[in-house]
Chains A and B, each alone.
Chain A
């Protein structure tokens, strides 16, 4: 069975601070995909990143960066110099590689960036 754990349910930071959102996953698959999504108050899911299990290179996209460590089954997400617009719920998710590729979501981390 697949499981995604986001231990931080809510985080508050002051604008311009850096913040890291933790994600730990469990799967028996050797090939899988990891995702991060942003869900602003409007509810629509915004895709941020998809990473396959064979690619452990860290990735940076603007103020966003991701640290994938297979050894610890973690896929952490860091926002540098946070902004108020970053306030949202962030979901980490895991998908099987074969079959229908069902996505299992973590419970989400609510990030509040205070001006």
Chain B
């Protein structure tokens, strides 16, 4: 089946630093990828839709200058949390939708836990 990986799975950083999270579709191409954030004991909230070769579409209330998304290839999207602060500590999950298929499936990555000290 379709596999999506995320790297790193865990990251601890100091406040003010930037952190990059990678989302890769391992056995399929994905024109569209999604980034979600999940705070403890809360639901997944869509942050942005990442489109290969074009700018990401951000959900209302998500700062695009803080959460930089780059979808440089059909198998890789990256989320960079710039100048991270403790309130950015969360579980970040990506999903990928296969290109060129009529199936409406999205495949989720295993998530990345970010802790900002």
Q: Report the separation of the CA atoms of residues A42 and B93 in the bound assembly, to the nearest whole angstrom.
A: 13
A43 touches B34 (CB 8 A): no
Q: Does B19 contact A (CB under 8 A)?
A: no
* Closest B residue by C-beta to A43: B111
Q: Given A33-B104, A100-B49, is A105 in contact with B43 using a C-beta cutoff of 8 Å?
A: yes
A106 CB contacts on chain B under 8 angstroms: 43
Q: Report the separation of the CA atoms of residues A100 and B51 in the bound assembly, to the nearest whole angstrom.
A: 9
A103 touches B95 (CB 8 A): yes
Contact with B along A33-50 (1 / 0, CB 8 A): 100010000111101001
Residues of A within 8 Å of B, CB-based: how many? 21
Contact with A along B17-60 (1 / 0, CB 8 A): 00000000000000010101000001111100100000001000
Q: Report the separation of the CA atoms of residues A43 and B97 in the bound assembly, to the nearest whole angstrom.
A: 20
A107 CB contacts on chain B under 8 angstroms: 42-43
Contacts beyond the supplied A37-B108, A45-B44, A95-B106: 20 A-B pairs with Cβ under 8 Å: A33-B104, A42-B110, A43-B91, A44-B110, A45-B108, A52-B104, A95-B104, A100-B32, A100-B34, A100-B49, A100-B57, A101-B97, A102-B34, A102-B46, A102-B49, A103-B95, A103-B106, A105-B36, A105-B44, A105-B45
Q: Which A residues form the contact surface with B (CB < 8 A)?
A: 33, 37, 42-45, 47, 50, 52, 91, 95, 97, 100-108
A-B CB contact pairs (8 Å), 25 listed: A33-B104, A37-B108, A42-B110, A43-B91, A43-B113, A44-B110, A45-B44, A45-B108, A45-B111, A47-B107, A52-B104, A91-B43, A95-B106, A100-B97, A101-B97, A101-B106, A102-B46, A103-B34, A103-B46, A105-B36, A105-B44, A105-B45, A106-B43, A107-B43, A108-B43
